[in-house]
């Protein structure tokens, strides 16, 4: 009996590690990456940007978030929209991203700057 309890505990550990596909980030939600800027479109739609190319979007007041791929791992620092469709993101190494559909798709623009702010 003395060796039975550690064996059972070990089996539970292996079972837990074998189920890694079902893991989900819990805290802090919606991302563990630092966010640098937010744009609030209205009470339901908000976009955030930040470290490691993070772009996240909610259209239900923050109940769920969608990660938007933008093709970079650079630190994204500033986010600006001129209206509900047209927006820009700027970040380290001179990165500039532009959207014309409210942040669903982002396209790289050339800046010819490679300065990294600290």
Residue 55: which CATH number? Answer: 2.40.10
**Poorest-pLDDT segment among 17-21, 24-28, 68-72, 83-87:** 17-21
- Tokens 């969608």 locate to 66
Tell whether 68 is covered by a domain. Answer: yes
Tell whether 117 is covered by a domain. Answer: no
Residue 70 near residue 89 (C-beta atoms within 8 A):
yes
Q: Nearest to residue 89, comparing CAs of 56, 63, 62?
A: 56
22: CB partners within 8 A, 6+ apart: none
pLDDT at 17 (0 to 100): 52
Regarding predicted confidence, which is higher, 105 or 93? 105
The answer to whether residue 115 scores a pLDDT higher than 80 is no
Tell whether 24 is covered by a domain. Answer: no
Q: How many domains does the chain divide into?
A: 1
Tell whether 40 is covered by a domain. Answer: yes
Tell whether 94 is covered by a domain. Answer: yes
Tell whether 89 is covered by a domain. Answer: yes
Confidence band (pLDDT; 50, 70, 90) for 11?
Answer: low
Tell whether 99 is covered by a domain. Answer: yes
Q: Determine the structural domain holding residue 40 and report its residue range.
A: 33-109
Distance of CA 69 to the CA centre of its chain: 8
What pLDDT digit, counting tens, does each position of 21-65 carry? 677 666 666 778 889 999 999 999 999 999 999 999 999 998 999
State the pTM of this model.
Answer: 0.71
Cα distance between residue 57 and residue 35, in whole Å: 12
Tell whether 39 is covered by a domain. Answer: yes
pLDDT at 21 (0 to 100): 66
Segment 99-105 shows an average pLDDT of: 95
């Amino acid at each position: 009996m003395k060796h039975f309890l550690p064996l059972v505990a070990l089996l539970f550990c292996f079972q837990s590690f074998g189920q890694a596909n079902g893991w989900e980030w819990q805290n802090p939600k919606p991302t563990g990456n630092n966010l640098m800027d937010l744009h609030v479109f209205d009470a339901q739609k908000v976009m955030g940007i930040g470290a490691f190319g993070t772009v996240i979007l909610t259209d239900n007041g923050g109940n769920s978030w969608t990660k938007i791929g933008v093709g970079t791992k650079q630190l994204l620092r500033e986010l600006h929209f001129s209206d509900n469709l047209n927006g820009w993101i700027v970040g380290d190494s001179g990165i500039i991203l532009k959207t014309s559909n409210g942040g669903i798709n982002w396209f790289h623009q050339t800046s010819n700057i490679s300065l990294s702010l600290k």
